[in-house]
Chains A and B, each alone.
Chain A
Amino acid sequence: MGTHAADIESDNTDQLVVEQLARETAAGSDRRETMAAAVRQVFIFSAFIGLLAVAYTVYKVFGQAIDDAQTDWWAIGSILPRSDDLNMPPVVDILKAFTVTPGGTDKVLGLQLFDEALFTLREAAVGFVAGAIIGLAIAVLLVRSKKLENGLLPYVIASQTVPLIAIAPIVVIWGRKNLDFLPWEWQDWMSVSIIASFLTFFPVAVNGLRGLQSPKPENLELMESYAASWRQTLFQLRFPASVPYLFAAFKIAATASIVGAIVGEISAGVPGGLGRRILSQALVYTTAPARLYAAVIGSALLGIFVFLLIAGTEKFVLGRQGREAVT
């Protein structure tokens, strides 16, 4: 008998204690490694942002120098953006913009952006959840029958060619007029959630279908040998097998839900969130360009936040099951 098998079968208690210890130490160093990886990632991210700021400033200084020398180099202002303070406010101005108090309020812009980000996040989160449920339902429907898959999948894909900007106002008006039968009062931000869900259901449906179809033939045959019902196969095999695929979809859907919420707010004219903020800062851009930059940065941070939230959950869930993520 091989030594490996002998190790496994030994019921010697010392041996078990040693194995247990080895396992615990391994778990401890795993945790330390995860922490180190997280710190490393934060460091890389900060370095990246720093570099971006430096590159932005260098470009600006360079462009300014050319401007000052009155040598009208053709590329600047035609292909490349102009580098004056109106087109490219200095990094310091952008940072300062977070601390100004816009007229009529006593809250600094940074805090206002934070409140608006929460407002947009709520729209996006509701849209994300609704979209994920609809997407999953579509995926289950499509995996149920090949005919449905062939018949419906093209329409699911075609749905994404509908211009959001055009339908956003329609959804808001439609929501106000037609959804008054609901037990709760319909509000405009909920219409924005519908718009966000329009972007999120798609990756979930497509990737979910891929995941539900991912079990290998031998696994499906095993379930058949147990005379498992379709529903049992769905819940015991197809769903669990699709979890890594769903997380890949959720990461796309989460950022898409933020984009959908912002675009929805802007095109439907719903106040209170980052979309409205971007719109109103754009209208007064010439007087305070740095504030639009601040609003855009706030939106980007919100997108990064939801992405990291899903990625972290993915790591936790799959890690606990000892599984790999898919892309």
Chain B
Amino acid sequence: MSDHAVNVQRVSKVFNLGKTNEVHAVDNVDLTINNGEFVTLIGPSGCGKSTLLRLIASLVEPTGGSIEVNGKPAEQARLDREYGMAFQKAGLFDWRSVSKNIELPLELMGWSKSERASRAQEMLELVKLPEFGDHHPAELSGGMQQRIAIARSLAFNPSLLLMDEPFGALDEMTREHMQDELLRIWDETDTTVVFVTHSIAEAVYLSSRVVVMSPRPGQISEIIEVGLGDRDTSTREDPEFFKMVTVVREALRSVESQ
């Protein structure tokens, strides 16, 4: 396996190419992400964060440049199920029980029934909802649904996790709790995470590197090394943490005022 979980080279994405409503969503972006890293993408609305993530996921085709995931072309990586994805909306299937939702990717991959069931239970324990397997998604709170979506994205042990504002709809307390859960899972599973967020504090708290993007056209304006070491409950009150928050905020300010 290659050292790079993600290797994005001079990638561009133009929507509606040649039409009057042409949008340069991502423009000539280079980004390499090492195995086991936790990288967040941050930037003003419309700067192409989701598009970059979906390019890595091979859910949209680039108009230029090349993308490799685990040393393979992005599309091949998708076909080989190299990554798991969690979106802003949990997107659970409401006709399936919580367990069956987590089992969905395993079913598609042809796992046996008993393997699926035991894996789903493991995942439920990982996201600390062990007794909710038989419930239907509608009976769960938004935060709980989001945890199930994360369990679903992790169920088949992908080496790469792509997350697009997964905690965007959560209240502050649940959000902080989920951040700790995610860091714990990241720690326990040596997954590489690419995480899109609007929250500066979230970006600093979670990641080893923060990628700051600027809009029109969508480009990377700065990459900030966070270097806070292991997070714990005191990290959020640590002066170092606030210093990094300020650094990222200023990077974003200069992007916004362009």
Q: Which residues of A contact B (CB under 8 A)?
A: 1-2, 4-5, 8-9, 16, 216, 218-219, 221-228, 232, 236-237, 240-241, 243, 321-323
Chain B nearest CB from A280 CB (Å) reads 48
Q: Tell me the B75-120 residues at the A interface (CB within 8 Å).
A: 78-81, 83-85, 87, 89, 91, 93-96, 104-105, 107-109
A237 to B139, CA, bound (A): 20
Q: Which one, B95, B128, B174, contacts A321 given CB within 8 A?
A: B95
A225 touches B177 (CB 8 A): no
Give residues 216-246 of B contacting A (CB, 8 Å).
none
Residue pair A236, B128 in contact (C-beta under 8 Å): no
B174 touches A219 (CB 8 A): no
Chain A residues in 8 Å Cβ range of B252: none
Q: Does B16 contact A (CB under 8 A)?
A: no
Tell me if A323 and B91 are in contact (CB < 8 A): no
Interface assignment of B22: CB less than 8 Å from any CB of chain A: no
Cα-based distance from A241 to B83 in the complex (angstroms):
25
CA distance A224 to B85 in the complex (A): 11
Q: Are B95 and A225 in contact (CB under 8 A)?
A: no
Give which listed residue, B59, B81, B108, contacts A221 with CB less than 8 A: B59
A164 vs B144: C-alpha distance when bound (angstroms): 54
Report if B1 contacts A (CB, 8 A): no
CA of A228 to CA of B156, assembled, Å:
14
A-contact 0/1 string along B22-34, CB 8 Å cutoff: 0000000000000
The smallest C-beta distance from A13 to any residue of chain B, in angstroms, reads 11
B257 close to A (CB within 8 Å): no
Q: Are A321 and B94 in contact (CB under 8 A)?
A: yes
Does B64 make an interface contact (CB < 8 A)?
A: no
Nearest CB in chain B: distance from A219 CB, A: 6
Interface majority SS (helix, strand, loop, mixed), chain A: helix
Interface residues, chain B, with chain A CB atoms under 8 Å away: 57, 59, 78-81, 83-85, 87, 89, 91, 93-96, 104-105, 107-109, 128-129, 131, 136, 138-139, 141, 143-144, 171, 173-174, 177
Chain B residues near A4 (CB-CB < 8 A):
141
Query: Contact between B83 and A8 (Cβ–Cβ < 8 Å)?
Result: no
Q: State whether A225 touches B57 (Cβ < 8 A).
A: yes
Quick one: closest A residue to B80, CB to CB? A227
A sample of 21 cross-chain residue pairs with beta-carbon separation below 8 angstroms, ordered by A number, consists of: A1-B173, A2-B174, A5-B177, A16-B131, A216-B91, A218-B87, A218-B89, A219-B91, A224-B78, A225-B78, A226-B104, A226-B105, A227-B81, A232-B108, A240-B95, A240-B96, A243-B95, A321-B94, A322-B94, A323-B94, A323-B138
Q: Are B107 and A236 in contact (CB under 8 A)?
A: yes
Q: Measured between alpha carbons, how far is A252 from B171 in the docked complex, in Å? A: 44
Residue of B nearest to A9 (CB): B128
CA distance A8 to B139 in the complex (A): 13
What is the minimal beta-carbon distance from A18 to any residue of chain B, in angstroms? 13
A323 CA / B92 CA spacing, docked (Å): 13
- Complex CA distance for A225 and B85, rounded to whole angstroms: 7
B93 touches A237 (CB 8 A): yes
Contact of A322 with B136 in the complex, beta carbons under 8 Å? yes
B85 and A222 within 8 A (CB): yes
B44 CB to nearest A CB, Å: 22
With A1-B173, A222-B87, A322-B94 given, is the CB distance from A227 to B79 under 8 Å?
A: yes
Name which residue of chain A comes closest to B136, CB basis: A322
Cβ distance B163 to chain A, nearest Cβ, rounded Å? 12
A225 to B75, CA, bound (A): 10
Query: Which of B59, B95, B107, B128 sits near A224, CB closer than 8 Å?
Result: B59
What's the least CB distance linking B53 to chain A, in Å?
11
- The residue in chain B whose Cβ has the minimal distance to the Cβ of A216 is B91
Within the complex, what minimum Cβ distance (angstroms) separates B103 from chain A? 11
Closest Cβ neighbor of A20 among chain B residues: B131
